[in-house]
Amino acid sequence: MGAFADRARELGAAGARRALRTVPVAPGMFASDWEKRPAASIVVGLRLVSANDEEVARAQGWRRVAQFAKTEADAVEQYNDELVSWIVGRGLCDPNDTAASHPLFSFQEDEVRLAFTAPGLRYLFDAIERMAVESAPAFGLADDEDLAELAAALTAARVDGLPRAHGLRVRRFARFILDDLTA
């Protein structure tokens, strides 16, 4: 009976599944000119993004590159910006129902680019990425040798030598690890 009761609580009275995680979003993460900008902090739910959604995000990224990129550096930036926006648009949900968009948004995938500042989008993307890493069995645990190898490899010069997007991702994960270690 305990397992059934736990499952019933997880699904809620109407069969809705609660968000795997919720995060606060301060008004400063919203664009000043967005008409629905909240006056106080709100809570958004996060859901895992499907493989199909990731594929669509990549296709949207390439579409944006074709429309706007003038240089290779522009192409990387445009692609990453679109990928982040699309993943955030699909990864946000009602805190009480993963099948529902957040109540603040009418057309969530289209609105997030207008609603959030660039740092606001990055904050939400990082929260979604962290949740995916923490909940995915595909990411194995590092053993003692892995930790020693990581400590030796994680230098500013090595990270700065990576392609820009890859280096930023490594730095985000490094910050995530440091936050966990100092919590």
The reply to whether 110 and 158 lie within a common domain is no
102: Cβ contacts below 8 Å, ≥ 6 apart: 44, 45, 92, 93, 94, 95, 108
149: Cβ contacts below 8 Å, ≥ 6 apart: none
Taking the complete model, does pTM exceed 0.85, yes or no?
no
State the virtual CA torsion across 117, 176, 26, 36 in degrees, nearest 10.
40
* pLDDT per position as a tens digit, 1-54: 344 444 444 545 456 799 999 999 999 999 999 999 999 999 999 999 988 988
User: For strand 42-46 and strand 21-25, is the pairing parallel, antiparallel, or unpaired?
Assistant: antiparallel
Q: What is the DSSP letter of 29?
A: G
The reply to whether 98 and 165 lie within a common domain is no
Q: Which domain holds residue 71?
A: 2-137
The reply to whether 86 and 172 lie within a common domain is no
According to the model, what pLDDT value does residue 15 have?
A: 65
The reply to whether 160 and 121 lie within a common domain is no
Report the run of H or E that residue 14 belongs to, with start and end.
Answer: none
Do 43 and 69 touch, CB atoms closer than 8 A? no
Report the run of H or E that residue 46 belongs to, with start and end.
Answer: strand 42-46
83: Cβ contacts below 8 Å, ≥ 6 apart: 57, 58, 60, 61
Total domains present in the chain: 2
Rounded (5°) CA angle 62-64-70: 100
The reply to whether 153 and 75 lie within a common domain is no
The reply to whether 63 and 108 lie within a common domain is yes
Tell me the pLDDT of the chain (183 aa) as tens digits. 344 444 444 545 456 799 999 999 999 999 999 999 999 999 999 999 988 988 988 888 888 888 887 888 878 888 888 889 999 999 999 999 999 999 999 888 889 999 999 999 999 998 998 898 888 777 778 889 988 998 888 888 888 898 887 888 888 888 888 887 887
The reply to whether 183 and 130 lie within a common domain is no
